[in-house]
């Protein structure tokens, strides 16, 4: 059925007109009287315009990034000044005479796994300015290789134990009374940059106090032990790599026992230890951490807050006992000399021993390959040693005349090559032991007496910086 | 701020004092005066005085601002002076080692 009221056909669209220029803008009425003053028409008809789409994109991006960067750095300055203002009154107090020594903190910074640097620069940038404003002195110990802090602390403690028993000459008398220095250390406190430093520090304490008292320092004893445990250079130099580095694991040969028997077991009484603070510090390394690094570039104020909070805790925090880890936390670890078991899914140790545990997520997985790396380097070293040994033997036996280069720069004799090999082995052993302490999931080398350690608690609420 | 100078009256008093300390004898010093020992003591005292004066003026210039708000030292300045003195002697020691390595430290004995 036809529609009774047919709708009119929709109007046809008009034919597309040829594109025309926009109409000339006209001068607004308020400015018309200026038309005859000689001011150009383009000035009178000016209207604000947005830039083109591409320029808009550019300005938005650049402006946002610059603004974020500038805002962050301004906040950093403001926050750090606020933290310093909380403590400036301490530096303005009167000095009580030459005996009034400033409080001195001990700061330890170990090297991050697979890196060359640790938390020392972070400390100097974010914590030190506040300590300086509060007239607090500090002494920083930096470990340049893995395990360096552990070895340093263990040697110092063992040296102290030997001196207490009269088995080692005391250091030359200094004008400062050592008991005063000890009291100053106790009041001063210890700051540790990050979990990796905590592990090295406690491993050093464990080795120093709980280990058997050795008759001589590790640095003098270890080369002799290594020399005894390495086979002699074989007569046929070509078999040297096979003799020294059998292709199976472990990375390093077993060590012969110490040249002198240990002097005594662990002491019954360990002197009091200053309170400790673990300062959060991480070093993201690797390709997958690049987004985090870029975000961190715009967020230095978070680090200023962390550093400032750590400084306030060191200055004002009251010492409180730590939360000890679980009961069997100390059984997890064999002595550093013995080969390391692979850490199966270890349960976390609990308590203060788990401080900053999530920092270990940032340790690269390639850190587990350190022992096979050392094994490979040993193979390469001994393979390169073969021609040098041959040259040394030929020159020593007089089988040939030295060449011109060998006269100017005499190559090492066989004994010097042996010493060099022993020194390298010591370095590899140090690295392997440091790796054993720093591994992800290796936990902290806990000893039961460490339950008595103290840490810095919170500072008063009214000092908090917003 | 020079504390002592060779021509001050306190100098002769101190020379006598150091000679007494050096020889160990208490009272009868007048018979055994050794002119060489006296000269050595004088030189050493001169040296120590010079080092002391330099140390004091250097650390004062670095650590204490020239606007004196109060006469007493405060703790911040105390820390600064501690560090300044420590660094001064470290530098002294290192320079002394280098001079000895370069061949004889001259006539002046090393300090500390």
Q: Do A137 and B79 touch (CB under 8 A)?
A: yes
Lowest mean pLDDT among A100-109, A344-353, B42-51: A344-353
What does pLDDT average to over chain A? 87
Q: Do A95 and B74 touch (CB under 8 A)?
A: yes
The residue among A432, A438, A443, A201 whose CA lies nearest residue A331 is A443
Lowest mean pLDDT among A132-146, A277-291, A331-345, B81-95: A331-345
Please give the Cα distance from A216 to A214 (Å, whole number).
Answer: 6
- Contact by Cβ (8 Å): A103, A136: yes
Segment A207-214 mean pLDDT: 85
Contacts of B73 in chain A (CB under 8 A): 94-95
| Confidence band, pLDDT 50/70/90 cuts, at residue A4 | low
Do you find a cis peptide bond into A195, omega within 30 degrees of 0? no
**Apex A61 CA angle, A59 and A62, nearest 5:** 65
Please give the Cα distance from B30 to B27 (Å, whole number).
Answer: 8
How, if at all, do strands A190-193 and A276-279 pair? parallel
The residue among A111, A108, A121, A120 whose CA lies nearest residue A146 is A111
Contacts of B70 in chain A (CB under 8 A): 94
Please give the Cα distance from B74 to B78 (Å, whole number).
Answer: 6
ipTM of the complex model: 0.71
| Residues whose CB is less than 8 angstroms from the CB of residue A327 and which lie 6 or more positions away in sequence, other chains included | none
pLDDT at A168: 79
Tell me A207's DSSP state: I
Q: Which of B70, B72, B75 sits opposite A135 (nearest CB)?
A: B75
Q: Which of A93, A101, A133 sits opposite B74 (nearest CB)?
A: A93
Contacts of A94 in chain B (CB under 8 A): 70, 72-75
Highest mean pLDDT among A58-72, A148-162, A215-229, B89-103: A58-72
Q: Do A92 and B73 touch (CB under 8 A)?
A: no
Q: Do A137 and B77 touch (CB under 8 A)?
A: no
Tell me A456's DSSP state: E
Q: Do A135 and B83 touch (CB under 8 A)?
A: no
Max alpha carbon distance in chain A (Å)?
Answer: 128
pLDDT in tens, A246-280: 776 667 777 777 777 777 777 888 888 999 999 99
In b/e form, how buried is each residue of A98-124, taking b as 16+ CB within 10 angstroms?
Answer: eeebbbbbbbbbbbbbbeeebbbebbb
For residue A466, pLDDT over 70 is answered with: yes
The residue among A457, A127, A105 whose CA lies nearest residue A308 is A127
Q: Provide φ and ψ at A359, rounded to 5°.
A: -65, -25
For residue A202, pLDDT over 90 is answered with: yes
How, if at all, do strands A104-109 and A454-456 pair? unpaired
pLDDT at A229: 85
pLDDT at B16: 42
Task: Kindly report the pTM of this predicted structure.
Answer: 0.82
């Amino acid at each position: 059925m036809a529609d009774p009221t047919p709708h009119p056909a929709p109007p046809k669209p008009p034919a597309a007109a040829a594109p025309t220029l926009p109409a000339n803008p006209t001068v607004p009425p308020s400015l018309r009287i200026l038309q005859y003053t000689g001011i150009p028409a383009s000035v009178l008809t000016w209207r604000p315009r947005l830039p083109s789409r591409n320029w808009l994109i550019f300005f938005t991006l650049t402006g946002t990034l610059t603004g974020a960067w500038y805002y962050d750095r301004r906040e950093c300055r403001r926050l750090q000044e606020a933290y310093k203002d909380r403590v400036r009154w301490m530096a303005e107090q009167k000095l009580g005479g030459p005996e009034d020594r400033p409080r001195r903190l001990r700061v330890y910074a170990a090297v991050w796994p697979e890196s060359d640097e640790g938390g020392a620069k972070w400390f100097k940038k974010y914590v030190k300015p506040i300590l300086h404003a509060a007239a607090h002195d500090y002494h920083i110990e930096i470990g340049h290789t893995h395990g360096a802090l552990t070895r340093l602390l263990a040697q110092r403690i063992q040296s102290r134990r030997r001196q207490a028993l009269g088995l080692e000459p005391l250091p030359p008398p200094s004008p400062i009374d050592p008991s005063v220095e000890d009291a100053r250390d106790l009041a001063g406190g210890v700051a540790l940059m990050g979990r990796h430093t905590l592990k090295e520090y406690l491993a050093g304490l464990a080795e120093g106090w709980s280990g058997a008292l050795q008759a001589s320092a590790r640095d003098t004893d270890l080369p002799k032990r290594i020399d005894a445990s390495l086979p002699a250079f074989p007569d046929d130099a070509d078999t040297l790599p096979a003799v020294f580095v059998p292709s199976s694991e472990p990375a390093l040969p077993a060590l012969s026992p110490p040249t002198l028997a240990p002097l005594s077991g662990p002491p019954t009484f360990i002197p009091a230890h200053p309170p400790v603070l673990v300062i959060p510090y991480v070093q993201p390394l690797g390709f997958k951490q690049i987004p985090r690094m870029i975000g961190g570039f715009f967020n230095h104020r978070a680090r200023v807050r962390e550093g400032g909070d750590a400084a306030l805790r060191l200055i004002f925090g009251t010492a409180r006992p730590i939360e000890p880890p679980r009961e069997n936390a100390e059984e997890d670890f064999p002595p550093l000399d013995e080969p390391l078991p692979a850490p199966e899914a270890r349960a976390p140790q609990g308590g203060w021993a788990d401080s900053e545990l999530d920092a270990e997520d940032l340790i690269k997985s390639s850190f587990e390959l350190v022992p096979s790396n050392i094994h490979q380097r040993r193979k390469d070293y001994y393979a390169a040693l073969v021609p040098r040994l041959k040259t040394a033997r030929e020159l020593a036996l007089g089988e040939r005349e030295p060449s011109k280069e060998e006269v100017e720069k005499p190559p090492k004799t066989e004994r010097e090559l042996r010493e060099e090999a022993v020194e390298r082995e010591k370095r590899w052993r140090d690295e392997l032991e440091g790796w054993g302490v720093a591994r992800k999931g290796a936990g902290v080398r806990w000893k039961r007496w460490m339950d008595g350690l103290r840490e810095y608690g919170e500072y008063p609420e009214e000092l908090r910086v917003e | 701020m020079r504390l002592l100078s060779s021509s001050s009256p306190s100098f002769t008093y101190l020379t006598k004092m150091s000679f007494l300390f050096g020889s160990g004898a208490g009272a009868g010093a007048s018979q055994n005066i050794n002119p060489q020992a006296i000269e050595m003591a004088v030189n050493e005292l001169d040296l120590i005085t010079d080092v002391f004066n330099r140390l004091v003026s250097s650390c004062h210039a670095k650590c204490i601002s020239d606007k004196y708000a109060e006469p007493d030292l405060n703790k911040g300045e105390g820390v600064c002076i501690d560090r300044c003195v420590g660094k001064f002697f470290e530098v002294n020691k290192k320079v002394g080692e280098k001079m000895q390595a370069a061949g004889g430290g001259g006539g002046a004995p090393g300090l500390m």
